[in-house]
Amino acid sequence: MTKLIQIQGDHPLAGPPANGFFSIPVRTPQSDGLTMPAEWEHHDACWMVWPCSEQCFKGVLQEAKQTYANVARAIGDFEPVYMLVNPEQRTEAENLLGAAVTLVDATCFDSWARDSAPTFVRDEKGNVAGIDWVFTGWGHYPITGPCDEAMGIDILRQLSMRRYTAPFILEGGSIHVDGHGTLITTEQCLMDPKRNVGFTKADFEALFKTYLGIEKVLWLANGLDGDETTGHVDILATFACPGLILLNNCIDPDDPNFAVTQDARQRLTGAVDAAGNTVEIMDIPQPAPQKWNGERMDLSYINFYMPNGAIVMSAFNDPADDQAKEMMQTIFPDRTVIQIPSLPLFAGGGGIHCITQQQPSGTALPPF
């Protein structure tokens, strides 16, 4: 079964448009009964990428490598971890990671698996496939060199798993789902004209239904101040379970994030999910602002990973660290909460959620 997707405007997957539209016949996850599971559902593995970019980590690359290793080893106590690594860095990675992480040789230019690795989808029989989004280095950056646009292909080839090629630009950090048909995202990121020029909200809602099985999109306005991705939702808000959204809470009226979080709360208050239930909001404290190389880091406790039976979250040498951990333990009483110092990650532009990508449990659908 095929579906005809019409995309308006320029697009890296197609040639010149006819009458302003591209017609791209594709077989889609929706046509094959696949949807995106929630992150708290059981995983077969976690995928990561060994850091290798001096330009990205701005003088803290060695510290970032140690932090990646700490995160990977923590996750490895709960589920298998696969780390893509450039062959010339394999020995270094082995020394820091130990035997708990499986290394996979690959060509890597950056290390944000959430955005350049595939997003996995699953059907009711437990069959799993991957979506390979168009990745252009977060869209708003000029692409002056190679980026990890082939990473989705490489991972799915390693898994001998079916690959669906999506006809639009998306990064995994720009979305969160509840596993029951609801997705949360920001207008700032998705409506960025340097990502998907000419796309409307209706276009995205149709595409999310086609590729992720989404029936309801909750639109927030902007991401946090200092976010190099221009608006990824995974440092602002996330689902903790169906009907419950954790929201970064800025209480300083002089902080640019105050207006961002107040607007997000206003939009979410009274919002209804795909199941028709009014969502609940729980505030998570925002750590105090910190800078690296003169630039604000987008610090947030919201940016955590959920391995099987655990929460792996950040610490920032901040007075709110302990409070945030205690809140997470209350929210997730059946999970072990592990807190890892993460400032080197945020100096590079992201956090623990950004460097990880979950592979849900199931049987790999064979390639087409």
Place of tokens 């999910």: 273
**Each residue's pLDDT tens digit, 178-196:** 999 999 999 999 999 889 9
Helix (H, G, I), strand (E, B) or coil at 104: strand
Whether 156 shows a pLDDT value over 50: the answer reads yes
DSSP result, 321-361: HHHHHHHHHHHSTTSEEEEEE-HHHHHTT--TTTT-EEEES
In angstroms, the Cα distances linking 314 to 32, 165, 208, 304, 325 are: 37, 33, 29, 7, 9
The two structure tokens encoding residue 94? 């082995």
Q: How far apart are CA 224 and CA 258, in angstroms?
A: 9
pLDDT at 83 over 60: yes
Tokens of 95: 């020394």
Average pLDDT over the chain reads 92
229 neighbors 349 (Cβ within 8 angstroms)? yes
pLDDT tens profile 248-301: 999 999 999 999 999 999 999 999 999 999 999 999 999 999 999 999 999 999
**pTM listed for this prediction:** 0.92
Q: Are 355 and 347 a contacting pair, CB within 8 Å?
A: no
Q: What is the pLDDT of residue 58?
A: 86
Taking only the tens place, the pLDDT of each residue in 341-357 is: 999 999 999 999 999 99
Q: Which two tokens stand for residue 115?
A: 């955005």
Angstrom distance (rounded) from CA 362 to CA 126: 5
Sorted by sequence, the CB contacts under 8 Å of residue 239 that are 6+ apart come out as: 38, 39, 176, 177, 178, 182, 184, 245, 246
Over the stretch 275-288, which tens digit does the pLDDT of each residue have?
Answer: 999 999 999 999 99
Confidence of residue 141 (pLDDT cuts 50, 70, 90): low
Question: 250 an active-site residue?
Answer: no
Q: What are phi and psi of 133, to 5 degrees?
A: -70, 160
Eight-state DSSP code of residue 235: G
Could you say which of 46, 108, 250, 354 is catalytic? 354
Q: What are phi and psi of 307, to 5 degrees?
A: -70, 170
CB hemisphere CA count around 184 (13 angstroms): 34
Domains by residue range for the chain, with CATH: 3-354 (3.75.10.10)
Residues 6+ apart with CB under 8 A from 357: 46, 47, 48, 113, 114, 117, 118, 119, 172
Report how far residue 28's alpha carbon sits from residue 33's, in angstroms, rounded to the nearest whole number.
Answer: 9
- pLDDT for position 256: 97
Tokens of 233: 């939702």
